[in-house]
Amino acid sequence: MVGVYIGSTSGYSGKNLIAMSLGLRFKKEGLRVGYMKPVGAVPRKENGQPGDEDAFFLQEVLGLRQDPELVTPVVVTREFTVRAFSEDIGDLMPGIVSAYEELSRDKDVMIIAGSGNLLGSGTYCGLDGVSVSRALGAKTLVIDRYHNELKYDYVLRCKEALGDDLAGLILNDIPEHYRPEVDDLIVPFFKRKGVDVLGVIASDPIMSAIKVSDLAERLGGKIISAHHKADRVVENFLIGTMQVENFLTHFMRHKNSAIIVGGDRSDVQLVALEGSCPCLILTGNLYPNDIILTRSEVLQTPIIVVREDTFSVAKKMETILSRHKLRDMIKVNHGVQLVGSALDFDLLKGKLGL
């Protein structure tokens, strides 16, 4: 039995996507696959049993039925956090190791999902990613997601901490303009440092997309028109604070973008509606006039009204689109295809001894 621990240089880097992709690929090749998320940061109960929201979803995707208390022996609830900071909660690692041994008893491969970032998250309770991976005797995959730059220093610290137990590095969400530098400079650099890059996954707008209904909920807003089209997908956003002529130029280049605009800017709102944007987000808790509402219904474009100002909503949108979790099976299937075409599975299997 082989264990592969999936860690990352920061939160929201694609650990769930890689876990799904590996699990499905190994199952397709006839291997018996198990899954574990030792430390769960998103508490949820299912059928009365406590567990982690990501872990429940991953098991569903992988077609697994495992005891939630074994899959996620440590669930970080508010109560757990208070105890961890106010008293000695003892050594939690033996419980994780025991659960892992039971889950892996009849398996060929165990997919172990990390939480947060590999070197730091969980240190306060003795359950950082490196310590957990070592205790389980697993090989570790590190995911580094591009956010304006790659975290070269962090990756090298992971190599120093893991040594030969580092199976390799996956670079995720790499924009097209940065790809030549990754291929010609970054990948060879890591290779010289003893870190094999197992895959470079390109940025894809579908992977950061979110349904209008989910977006309204995350923004704390209210859909006031075209409710039946709340399942439309938003891939990006534009701010409509400029003059109409300038806005139109930008808008034509950014399809499938939600338009964030003040509730009093009916000129920009009308242009956005006629240009078939997926939704309008009106800020300042200002409702549109009757003409805009009517066009919204005719063109079947939902309008979301939010209380906050345009700048605050734009900042929230950046966070939402970069951190929106995989929950839609269309996105899951698309993401698995992306990973499948980018990852060197033969090299990974060689690293894992499969």
pLDDT at position 36 is 97
- pLDDT confidence band for 242 (50 / 70 / 90): low
Helices (H), 6-124: 15-28, 53-62, 68-71, 78-86, 93-103
- Residue, of 354 and 189, whose pLDDT is higher: 189
CA 261 to chain centre: 27
**Pairing mode of beta strands 257-262, 236-239:** parallel
Overall average pLDDT of the 236-265 stretch: 75
Sketch the domain layout of the chain as residue ranges.
Answer: 2-205+325-352, 210-323
What is the tens place of the pLDDT at every residue in 252-267? Answer: 666 678 889 988 888 8
What is the tens place of the pLDDT at every residue in 87-128? Answer: 888 999 999 999 999 999 999 999 999 999 999 999 999 999
The CATH architecture annotation of domain 210-323 reads 3-Layer(aba) Sandwich (3.40)
For residue 325, pLDDT over 80 is answered with no
What is the tens place of the pLDDT at every residue in 43-61? Answer: 888 888 889 999 999 999 9
Superfamily of chain region 2-205+325-352: P-loop containing nucleotide triphosphate hydrolases (3.40.50.300)
- pLDDT confidence band for 304 (50 / 70 / 90): very high
Overall average pLDDT of the 56-74 stretch: 94
pLDDT at position 272 is 85
Distances (CA, A) of 108 to 3, 53, 143, 238, 290: 9, 25, 23, 48, 62
pLDDT at position 205 is 82
Are residues 109 and 136 in contact, defined by beta-carbon separation less than 8 angstroms? no
For residue 29, pLDDT over 80 is answered with yes
Q: Name the pTM for this structure.
A: 0.83
